[in-house]
Structure 1
Amino acid sequence: MLDEVPSSFLRISSGLGEAPPASAIVLPALFEEEVKAVIELASFSRFSDTHRLFLEQLMESVGIVLNTIAATMRTEGLLKQSQLLTSELQSRQTELTKKQEELHATNEELQEKAQLLENEKKQVENKNLEIEMARRALEEKAEQLALTSKYKSEFLANMSHELRTPLNSLLILSNLLATNQQGNLNDKQIEFARTINSAGTDLLSLINDILDLSKIESGTVSIELNDMPLAHLRQHMERTFRQLAADKGLGFTIKIDQILPETIRTDEKRLQQIVLNLLSNAFKFTSQGDVTLSIHAERTGRGNGAAALPQALAIAVTDTGIGIPEDKQKLIFEAFQQADGTTSRKYGGTGLGLSISREIARLLGGELRVESQPGTGSTFTLVIPFDGPRSSSLAPQIELSPAAVSVAASSTTGTPELADDRDAIDPSDRVVLIVEDDPTFGGLLLGLARSAGLKGVLSTAGSGTLALTRKLMPDAITLDLGLSDIDGWVLFDLLRHDPKTRNIPIHVISGAEDIELLTRRGAASVSSKPVSAGELSRVFDDIQSRTLRTQRNVLVADPDPERRLALVEAIRDGVTSVTAIGRVAANADGGGIAGYDAVVFGFGRSAKDNAQMLDEIMSQFGDFVPRLLFFTPHPDAFQQQIALHPPLSDVPRADNFAQLGLLMSAALPGDRPDKEILASEQLDNADLAGAKVLIVDDDIRNIYSLTSVLETYGIEVQHAERGRDGIAMLEEAPDVDVALIDIMMPEMDGYETMRRIRSQPEIAHIPLISVTAKAMKGDRQKCLDAGASDYIAKPVDLDLLLALLRVWVGRSRSRAGTSRADGDDRNLIAPRRI
């Protein structure tokens, strides 16, 4: 009951007028606790208690009456329905009787014909029904397969992202523990941290396989077509599997047909991925016997008694392992499937390798075949064309990278491809690495380098330049800052701060702005485009005229050829001359060996070989034992020698290549005094000391891991777990030097967060580095389009992250200083477009 009814709520009206009521009451009409109706009454006067009591009693009667009326209506309805059905039934019975009489009259005449027609009709109907059911079944299966494939690809991509996010924290923190910067961990704890980091790296490799599979199934995997020397494939497989074969006691043979061309046109990285997988499986499933890698020409047809011309390259991997039953030879090429998929299987693995390899083989224009018998071994054969994929059916599945597009364009226009000197470098040659994405200008620089008496190696992309530099250790580098896949300033910073490449002179030749600043950061010279031929010639003449940077000599003694080669690659740093031998006695007399600054001895598994090598070293070195360094990848073998010769425990030793590098730096004289090296490292840290960095990430594990690392460099770290919170923090503190923005966040993702920041003039100047775990093709450009200054993928590479921070913090500070001097802070740092 409402005693004070608003004037606009209800009005009482009649033919004579209307007015708002003074009171309104709503009453339910109940029957056995069930509401049958609701009555709403309004009055110009208030309802009294008598009125209410009367109405409440009346509602019980109303409920009974309403229920009775409803029951009566249902009864009448059922009665009418029953009568109608009875009438229809009688009518149908009458009609049926008449039809029966008519059919009985004509049955004798038409019985035979009717039976024949009925049989034919049933047969046709049955066939039509079967066809229709089969068609619908096929359509349903096709829809289910398409939907399943879509969901599967989306699931794989999303799961890869979700796995990369915690893996990012695992790798960062384990690496931080393994470096033991505070020196408060013992050797065992450091080894635990390295084991965790190694396991995380293996998990990252698995995630990358899953990403490869999802990209292949979605048709977005990219290939880069280039000329690949077959010698590279042989060398890579030799280095990778020779030691594994020796450890398992297996024979390993590589055979290459002499009639093959020196190079083929394919994607070298993808081809190596397939062959690595096939060889890994061969060694995995072979416990005795041998593994053979055979590279030959696939021939078709015969003519005039001579073999037909080779049409394709065949790469066959043959083993003497367990073999594969015939009924499982198709199954093994399906994702997540293995020949032995039981819970008691002997061999591990995910079953992704062969599935990915088969799809990549198709993208390369070839196929992957298998021949096998249980108990006798298997042969997997990859067949690809010499000149790359040509089938038009593959075109929709291939998404060429910019480098591949430029190569394809050059081939179609008739422009000759550049051939550098990377396959013709002798130890005595002076080498310059040319980093230039313009093939025309790169060819010009390569010609000038050769004219100056230098060997030139051309790199058209920045992503693999650091690895290529560490492999070649050139005498100098020419660098263009305007690269398509990485900021040239960041690449310059990476080269300057990498322990192996920091002493290599870098000559910057670029059309970017403010490149003169690089001279203060260690550039050997700076030339602005357009640059004259005379100035370029002076750059290469200066490289040729400089004295060799080698200042120390190291002897590597290791009976294992593969490990010996790996040790040489780990020690070479541009200031060290490395000589590798298998036997100390075979090198020189004692005086010759004593002329080395140090001898690195690699311990193998064989106790006999280790003891023999040690005796030769001890007999020739005498009092020079402190210059001896041990590389002990097999600690048990080393402990056996210590038991026989306890004084060996005092010799510095390294269990891995990272430790060996630290020992070499500590034990040998470098190109700079120790104080200068320490001062340089302190200066590197000073580049970031005091910097303010904001981390915007919804995963607290990532925030914790990144904060733990960055704070060791004196960086002041703030964090926000939502995009809106991050924007609010930047508005309160616009003096933040750099903001790290995660892409996958709830409510407001990283793209929208960066767009909002760029739309606000007071904080639009802040450099934004996007951080994403998807790392799919095109993600970098999407981030830049959304307003990112730069981009880094998870798991975060700490060296790359620090390089990015050094570059952008430096830009932030320098431009902020310039703007304050000019009295304007609106355009401190704009997003760079690479």
Structure 2
Amino acid sequence: MRFTISKKMIVGFLSVALFFGGTSGAFFYYLSKVNDSYSEIMDRRAIILNNVKYIQVLAYKQTSSLRGYLLTENLEFMIDLKAENTDMNKLIDETSKLVTESEQEAVVIKLGELNREFHTNYEELLENFEGDFEQEAATDYFINELLPIGTELSSLTTSLAERQQILMDAARVENTKQVNQMERMLVLFSVLAILLNIIIGLIISRNITNNLSKLTKVINKMTSEPNNIMEIPQIEVNTKDEIYDIAQAFNNMAHSIKENSWLETSVAEMATMYQGIHDLQTLGQQFINKVTPLVGANYGVFYVKHGTSEQRFHSIAAYAYNGREMGECGFRYGEGIVGQAALEKRTIHLTDLPENYIQITSGVGAASPVSLMVIPVEFEGEVSVVIELASLKKFKPIQVTLMKQLSNQIGITVKSVSGRMQIENLLIESKALTEELQSQSEELQLQHEELTKMNEKLEEQYKSSEQKTIELNETKMELEENAKQLELNSKYKSEFLANMSHELRSPLNSLLILANLLAENKEGNLTEQQVIFADTIFKSGNDLLQLINEVLDLSKIESGKIDINLEKVNLKNVCLFAERQFRPLAKQKELKFSIEIDDKLPEYLWTDQLRLQQVISNLLSNAIKFTEKGEITMHVHHAKIATHPSTKNIKTIVAFSIKDTGIGISKEKQTLIFQAFQQGDGTTSRKYGGTGLGLSISRENAQLLGGEIEVESVPGKGSTFTLYLPIYEKNNLQEAVSLREEAATGLEMINENEQEVISLHKVDSLLNGKKILIVDDDMRNIFAITTILESKNMKIVFAENGKNGINVLMKNPDVDLILMDIMMPEMDGYETISAIRKMPEYVDLPIIALTAKAMKMDKNKCIEAGASDYISKPVFIDQLISLIQVWLYR
């Protein structure tokens, strides 16, 4: 039976019934009114605070959606953008109705104006963007006009949220003051009651003050420690009267405050946990270990989506898991509760589970959970993670709310870690391929050395005795057989290197392009350290490309598969090439660098300019590398006719002498350095790096040009390498190189080891609006090349194989040029080009072949198949743009 204070007063003493009953009723009414007013204020402030935080999230999302649409023109971003803008308007209107302070009303009104301004500006941007608006201009408009609005929205919502928090704290203080006032009133009325009837007053006051003391103690602790919200105790009252109601109301308020504080603290703790994690399994395990006990669960599994076609969700981490081996448990979309939650993109909460649904075990027993919660995690509209939790108790609403907030954090983190893992895997794969190529090259070198030793042994046997003629003939036959085998091995080696070139250059192509784009940091969103990382990846990729090119050049020379293209070469241009390429490198090492050319030399000579420049570059590069102080000199002059027996029938010989003051080379090693993979210092701890291929390739190139290389050196004083070339008379060779070859080859200039290609027709404005079809089975190359060409305001369509490429071309007859990869499955580039050329309407359509294979016959096969031109991977951006310009405006 509820024995209220008024009943106690009536039973105890009728004399004070009206007085004390009236005052007690008035006190209870006032207290309830204060409590209700405080609860209404706190609820309204909480709603406003939640609305402001969600407005801040929507402001960020709509800015991100607009950026995504501008980058990809994906209509899904456009749908999200409109929905987010509409939701923001609704939340702003709702918040405006709840705010009562004039200052806050002005902020909310400003939010509405900014959001409408954002809507107006992006509508104008989209109208221009879908018309004849350049993407670069659209991006500038977005950065200058829309992004500042988004930033101001975020700033306003932050200040509004902080103000609401201040008002909530002020409301708590005001409520405490009012409660204190009621305490003083209660004491006053108690004294009056004691004066009326001391005995009755003592008995009743003892009963009342005991419970009020408990209430006062808790309230005083709360006011003295306002920041220690989590330590607010519960008020325990044994009587069932009005004080009990007050205690219960206070207890409910304290519980609500604790829950909100716990929610914010838990979200913050989980956010700081992800730092330093670089793989998904560690991320999933740490997340499930932390969140399972945090929400009162006893069992948990972390599922991640694998694959692009099958798209199954596999478990990679678990808490108290006692089922099958990790990784075996997987679900497709719509399969089981996990797959259904991923399909519907909503949390599924099950209660009253059957006994045999799942067992939560420990060392002393097992039990069935009563509640199951499956939460799908979305990122950019796609479910990438599903979290499954089970508990021996029912999940509380606050725990469900926490999981919804945490799912947003973990989705972004999983995407970031996955991208980082993909880059690391690519780097590991590239390193493994490089090591494999090096191993194969060393094996071929060992075979070559063994054959050389056999040949030397045969010569010694021939000189020692003429009686061993029969044995010599037999040995000769064996040697011829070995030579045939060596020729066959050389053929296999060439084919292997060509195929290996393709396998290395394909991923290297996209790696170089994307690493270069990251190093440029045009958007300015990377840290200085991240830019250094990207630049290091780009330079390492170029070093790997240089190694691949040197090995391929050596293989081509050894197999006799290099053609010499004689042309009219200006000697001053050769010197200018050396000047521009190596003066910055010499200046960097504080070396004196000079080039001298004799006046009486002819202005032109007929030779292969590319091979000549390659030899000069190798010699100058070595001179600078092995010289710590002093000077480097290149002297171009006439040479004596009798210097070389191989050139004794040539009237004029020009010499390129490159002299340095470096470390020098001992006499016994001056022959060794021209062998492949050899250096003057051949130890693994040598001071100077390099593959040892440069001088070997240079001597072979010199011999192909009809000349020779000599070296004179003194250890510790320096070396002089001299290239001797005959000056041929050519009367019937073509003197002009076509515009296509000049633009495609360009003028190569190297500065801090970076290559730039200066095109003869580099006019980007001519490329605006041109449509390019890219056919390549490697999406990394498609993505990299598309990014570059779209920056030139070109329209891009693509296909992942030859058959689809023809279909895309039929649907886009206005294609201006095709970039065709050669090595593709099913229908390769040769077959695709031939099929296109059989269509009358595409007989003259420019088709540029792109391939990672770099052997001599590859270019001829492309041209014979019908390609307009040929470029090998990795593709240099400016060279590709120059070649496209030539063929679009030939």
TM-score normalised to the size of structure 1?
0.43
More helix by share: 2
